[in-house]
Amino acid sequence: MENVVDVKGLTRRYGDFCAVDGLDLVVTQGECLAVLGPNGAGKTTTIEILEGYRYRDAGDVHVLGMDPATADRRWRARLGIVLQSASDLGDLTVRESIQHFARFYSHPRGTSEVLDITGLADKSDARNSSLSGGQRRRLDVALGIVGRPELLFLDEPTTGFDPEARQVFWQLIHRLKSEGTTIVLTTHYLEEADALADRVVVIARGRKVADTTPALLGRRTSDDVRVSWWEGNERHDELTRTPTALIASLAQRLGGEIPHLEVSRPTLEQAYLELLDGGGRT
């Protein structure tokens, strides 16, 4: 089957700065891909080239079988876009906004269905300008999915969310995934990639430094385990490959219970930082 997104050698420069540097990217049907990377890594530039907003200096780009740079309205109708930040439509209500955007598509979802999926039914008659950050993002998603897109782009959808709003938002994305929507998501939160994505692409300085599953991304680090404890009124830390032996010897030395014992595997976060470190070296 043809890939939903197929990118080869994508390059974009801003003056002397190379924001995207020969990037290859593939997204298959029904997949949720997280594009992960620090600020300035080239995530938004990449996504906005795929959405047809920005031009590119080089590379082959196919999204839903077409080149976004020359695509038409019929192509746009198959796409859902949730931009990084938007504060438009403030004087309209949630319902008015959804109804208005529905009219641009030939087979839109019903307004009540969209309100239900995005959990905005209670807010349907509220002015958009009165919505909280999380509700506002859900409105952006509502407008992104009202046309039943085959492919949905989400650009840093949960930046600035509190943990509860993030959980609610993730459930929404899970629901869209289960309906078969192909999703491309950029984020700089690892736990978001972990919670939502089937596959993770890590970008640093415009280059791909990893293309793997969230689970494998975590396992890429060394086998060292961190053991920490209190001894003589200060905290001790040790990295070891044999934690059990270390704890046994500590127990012996400290005479039984080890104060404030903690044993931790390197987190996804550490794996990620290690990757970025590697990607930064030129």
Q: Which residues bind another protein (CB under 8 A)?
A: 14, 51-55, 73-74, 76-77, 79, 81, 83, 85-92, 96, 100-101, 103-106, 127, 143, 147
Task: Please report how close the Cβ of residue 212 comes to another protein at its closest, in angstroms.
Answer: 30
Tokens 């740079």 sit at which residue? 69
> Which ranges of 103-186 would DSSP assign to H, the alpha helix?
111-117, 133-145, 163-178
Task: Please report how close the Cβ of residue 55 comes to another protein at its closest, in angstroms.
Answer: 6
Compute the distance between CA of residue 82 and CA of residue 98 in angstroms, rounded to an integer: 14
Of 25 and 83, the one with the shorter C-beta distance to another protein is 83
Of 75 and 230, the one with the shorter C-beta distance to another protein is 75
Of 90 and 259, the one with the shorter C-beta distance to another protein is 90
40's CB contacts (< 8 A; 6+ apart) are none
Tell me which residue of 272, 212, 236 sits closest to 37, measured CA to CA: 272
Compute the distance between CA of residue 97 and CA of residue 91 in angstroms, rounded to an integer: 10
Query: Across the chain, where does the E strand assignment appear?
Result: 5-14, 17-27, 32-36, 58-63, 79-82, 151-155, 182-187, 199-204, 207-212, 225-231, 234-240, 262-264
Of 88 and 122, the one with the shorter C-beta distance to another protein is 88
Task: Please report how close the Cβ of residue 76 comes to another protein at its closest, in angstroms.
Answer: 4
Of 83 and 173, the one with the shorter C-beta distance to another protein is 83
Task: Please report how close the Cβ of residue 42 comes to another protein at its closest, in angstroms.
Answer: 15
Task: Please report how close the Cβ of residue 77 comes to another protein at its closest, in angstroms.
Answer: 4
Of 10 and 210, the one with the shorter C-beta distance to another protein is 10
Task: Please report how close the Cβ of residue 15 comes to another protein at its closest, in angstroms.
Answer: 10
Q: What number of residues does the chain have?
A: 282
